[in-house]
Structure 1
Amino acid sequence: MPDDPRPRLRRRFFASLVLIGLLLGAMIGRLTAPGPVQLERIEEQAWGLTLWFDRQPELYDEHLEGAFALLLQAQGEAQSGQLQVDGTRVGWRLQHTAKGLLLHLVAARPLRGEWAGQVEAGGWRLDVRVTP
């Protein structure tokens, strides 16, 4: 009596359905996943900087030997500048790293920095305040 080929065909059929479902789900996931967070602009203020993003980025802050640094998981263009905070010149630089954008704020005297973010006008605003 020859072997019945139906069980083997049934396994192949269901395995094909599973594979097609996985591929279709991956394609839909790619289409609906948001792209990376984008830095839209930087504004200098009397107390520090205001950074505008299209949505909230993941960020980490650190005080390094009197300087203040923020690592932002976002994309944008590298920029730099200087501001005057309480009579002290503060230099700032935004540069690309492997993990995102790195914002450095440096002055001749040690700086203390803090940040606050909020949703505003269809985007996300990050206020970076520094005090010498």
Structure 2
Amino acid sequence: MHGSERKDGLHSTPEDDPRPNLWPRVMFSLALVGLMVGLMIGRLTAPEPRVLEQIEVVPAGLQLWFNEQPEIHGEHVDGAVALLINAQGKAQQGRLQLAGKPVSWRVRKTDQGLLLNLVAARPVRGEWAGATVDGRWRLEISLREE
């Protein structure tokens, strides 16, 4: 067996390679490209957000128009009607007439979506139903006095 002494500039152990090791850079680049492609595919396949497009006042109620059908949770709270709608939109408010008496309505943004409140000086009850009309989704809210 030979020793580790130097003979003709050769050692028994190889010298350090002065070239940089590119394997970690290649793996990082592949991971980065994979992440970017995954984000692009996710963006393309994500569902379109549900948006409140328009609110119309109709006799004894409201019609809300959406681009797609949202999830709706409604309750009657102390003589008022409250609907939590899983959609995006802007805050709005207005008034309508129910048997010649005013009813105030207001749409507010919340963390869960939009909150629609219908309030009057006397207790009101509401019924709501949705349907697809001309490629849009309509939520029709009918009010009546208690």
- In the other structure, the counterpart of 2:47 is 34
2: CA distance, partners of 1:87 / 1:131? 12
1: CA distance, partners of 2:82 / 2:52? 17
Matched, 1:58 2:71: yes
More strand by share: 1
1: CA distance, partners of 2:125 / 2:101? 13
Matched, 1:70 2:83: yes
More helix by share: 1
With a CA cutoff of 8 Å and minimum separation of 6, indicate the structure with the bigger relative contact order.
1
- In the other structure, the counterpart of 1:4 is none
Secondary structure at 1:27 match in 2: helix
1:130 CA drift (Å): 0.8
Secondary structure at 1:55 match in 2: coil
How many residue pairs get matched?
A: 118
CA RMSD across the alignment: 2.0
Secondary structure at 2:95 match in 1: strand
Matched, 1:100 2:95: no
2: CA distance, partners of 1:45 / 1:110? 19
Matched, 1:118 2:124: no
2: CA distance, partners of 1:25 / 1:96? 31
2: CA distance, partners of 1:73 / 1:114? 18
TM-score, with structure 2 as normaliser: 0.73
1:25 CA drift (Å): 4.5
TM-score, with structure 1 as normaliser: 0.80
